[in-house]
Amino acid sequence: MRYTHFFLTAIVTFFTPVISRAQVFDSASYVAHYQQRLAQAYNTSTLTAQDKLAGLSRAWAEARYNFANFDLVPLLNWDSLYYTYIPQAMAAKDLAAYYGILQNFYQHLRDGHSSIMPPQQLWDSLYATLPVKAKWVEGKAVITQLLSHDPAYQQLQPGTVIETIDGMPVQERIRADIAPYLNFSTPQDSTARIYSWFLFGGPIDRAVTLGMESVTGKQMTASFRRLGMPALFGSMPLLRFHVLPGNIGYLQLNSFEDGRIVAMFDSIFPALSHTSALIIDIRNNGGGNGNNGFEILGCLTSQPFMQGRSAIRHYIPPFRSWNKPDELAITNYDWKPYKGKLYNKPVAVLIGPDTYSAAEDFLVAFKSMQRGKLFGETTGGSTGQPIYFSLPGGGMGRVCAKRDMMADGTEFVGRGIAPDFTVQYTVAGIRLKADEAVQAAVNYLLQVMPGESRK
């Protein structure tokens, strides 16, 4: 008993200073502490074996606890896959190879909002490209947009068919150099990403040689200097507006990333309000901030409209002891128009596989409003809220942590939003600069416009 008393006394004495400093739980400091921990980045310029394993492990863990769409890949055993990638990651010979392995690992999630981005110092060696966008049209790789006025690229006119890249047939090039590292949610998403962004990618200091069929049908081969991909992001204006014959407005919204698009829309609204019908083209809109789209939709109705429905997993660590680590929260959101601007005439929206993320959220709300019809092709089928995390060597990863759906619960993630009227591109249409989707929408609007508006 004497020794027991001494032991207890020692424990009390040892902990007395801690007890005397006890204070009320500070929730703000607690949250700030964990925010700082989550924001900590790796500052390594070269990768050790420990770095390689740590990066792969973090990518695995972030998805394991945060990914919202595991049910869409029911055959994926994420833990087992992680083990198979350990030797591959450890054997990576350099930074580029290591990040290629991480990208291939994340490809198994089949999610466009869950991906690995290599460090910025690798971008010019991996992602430099040509100032064009292309599509897979009628079984051919066809240039649809030329985004430069530089004479060096004027052979790359819309309608040019690309047959070989650096001597390789297009499909062979895709299988070897692009497909293993691509993240996507649907087949149409995969195709759109490849042809819109990655088909001509490679080192910025190495020209790319293309075998082509010109718009006149002539066979030719030419080499072109690549540009840094970031320079192309701003090559399309946020917004375009003009009036088509029949007093039909044409409004092109190319991104919701920049909040200036709302002010631009407000500035053209007086002109738009005098049209008899409206076409909204979001075929090239890859998303951004959904609220920017809702601001614009708020001018198409005077009534509140549903933005959609979201499902969020809440991981609660102590609940693991009760075999119930997750709680699911399902929320609905609505938007109440407040600007006092109202366009109440017929509307049609143009969509396609490059319509993505917040642009699909825009469509979800538009469909809930029942304001018009959709023309074009099925959208990319990926939205949600990704969380970001740092990786060794300066790269970043992201995991989609929120599942979005239609206001009535209808799923579109992993599927896409289908048009009411399917209109596909044709090689002949591209060469003639004839936009079949625009023409289909015009024909529809001319039929539903009030009689006096058609005069």
- The pLDDT score that the predictor gives to residue 46 is 79
Confidence class of residue 249 from pLDDT cuts 50, 70 and 90?
very high
Report residue 55 as tokens: 């990066």
Does the pLDDT at position 452 exceed 60? no
Report residue 305 as tokens: 């409209």
Pick the CATH number of 239-302+337-381+416-447 from 3.90.470.20, 3.90.1150.10, 3.90.226.10, 3.40.1280.10: 3.90.226.10
Cα 412 to Cα 323: distance, rounded to the nearest angstrom: 30
Average pLDDT over residues 120-128: 93
**Are 173 and 134 contacting, i.e. CB atoms less than 8 angstroms apart?**
no
Average pLDDT over residues 379-405: 96
Confidence class of residue 230 from pLDDT cuts 50, 70 and 90?
low
Does the pLDDT at position 212 exceed 70? yes
Report residue 37 as tokens: 């921990």
Distance between first and last Cα of the chain: 106
- The pLDDT score that the predictor gives to residue 313 is 85
- The pLDDT score that the predictor gives to residue 333 is 83
Does the pLDDT at position 270 exceed 80? yes
- The pLDDT score that the predictor gives to residue 7 is 41
Cα 27 to Cα 165: distance, rounded to the nearest angstrom: 57
**Are 105 and 117 contacting, i.e. CB atoms less than 8 angstroms apart?**
no
Does the pLDDT at position 68 exceed 90? yes
Average pLDDT over residues 126-152: 95
Q: Which of 380, 399, 402, 377 shows the shortest CA–CA distance to 389?
A: 399
C-alpha distances (whole Å) from 258 to each of 151, 234, 262, 366, 402 are: 30, 11, 9, 20, 22
Confidence class of residue 31 from pLDDT cuts 50, 70 and 90?
confident
Average pLDDT over residues 166-189: 96
Alpha helices in 273-382 (DSSP H): 290-297, 358-369
**Are 298 and 266 contacting, i.e. CB atoms less than 8 angstroms apart?**
no
Q: What residue segments make up the domains of the chain, in order of their start? A: 125-233, 239-302+337-381+416-447
**CA torsion sign, 267 to 273 to 274 to 277?**
positive
Cα 97 to Cα 207: distance, rounded to the nearest angstrom: 22
Q: Is the whole model's pTM more than 0.85, yes or no?
A: yes
Average pLDDT over residues 373-390: 96
- The pLDDT score that the predictor gives to residue 320 is 80
- The pLDDT score that the predictor gives to residue 28 is 79
Of residues 326 and 447, the one with the higher pLDDT is: 447
- The pLDDT score that the predictor gives to residue 453 is 56
- The pLDDT score that the predictor gives to residue 15 is 43
**Are 45 and 27 contacting, i.e. CB atoms less than 8 angstroms apart?**
no
125-233: CATH topology is: Pdz3 Domain (2.30.42)
Cα 133 to Cα 160: distance, rounded to the nearest angstrom: 11
User: Quick one: what percent of the chain has pLDDT higher than 70?
Assistant: 90
**Are 337 and 303 contacting, i.e. CB atoms less than 8 angstroms apart?**
yes
User: Quick one: what percent of the chain has pLDDT higher than 90?
Assistant: 80
Does the pLDDT at position 17 exceed 70? no
Does the pLDDT at position 198 exceed 50? yes
Cα 376 to Cα 429: distance, rounded to the nearest angstrom: 14
Report residue 174 as tokens: 């895709």
Residues 317-336: pLDDT tens digits?
888 888 876 778 888 888 99
Cα 204 to Cα 208: distance, rounded to the nearest angstrom: 9
Cα 246 to Cα 411: distance, rounded to the nearest angstrom: 37
- The pLDDT score that the predictor gives to residue 389 is 97
- The pLDDT score that the predictor gives to residue 123 is 93
Cα 115 to Cα 388: distance, rounded to the nearest angstrom: 10
Report residue 88 as tokens: 């591959």
- The pLDDT score that the predictor gives to residue 418 is 98
Average pLDDT over residues 408-428: 96
β pairing state of 372-376 and 421-422? parallel
- The pLDDT score that the predictor gives to residue 319 is 82
- The pLDDT score that the predictor gives to residue 200 is 96
Q: Which amino acid is at 310?
A: S
DSSP 78: H
Name the strand (E) or helix (H) holding 333: strand 326-335
Confidence class of residue 100 from pLDDT cuts 50, 70 and 90?
very high
11 φ, ψ to 5°?
-65, -45
Cα 208 to Cα 145: distance, rounded to the nearest angstrom: 18
C-alpha distances (whole Å) from 274 to each of 249, 268, 277 are: 9, 11, 9
- The pLDDT score that the predictor gives to residue 13 is 42
Average pLDDT over residues 440-444: 98
Of residues 45 and 395, the one with the higher pLDDT is: 395
Confidence class of residue 43 from pLDDT cuts 50, 70 and 90?
very low
Does the pLDDT at position 288 exceed 90? yes
User: Residue 318, class by beta-carbon neighbours within 10 Å (0-12 exposed, 13-18 middle, 19+ buried)?
Assistant: exposed
Does the pLDDT at position 413 exceed 90? yes
**Chain-wide mean pLDDT for the chain?**
90
Average pLDDT over residues 93-116: 97
- The pLDDT score that the predictor gives to residue 231 is 61
CA angle 49/182/136 to nearest 5° reads 160
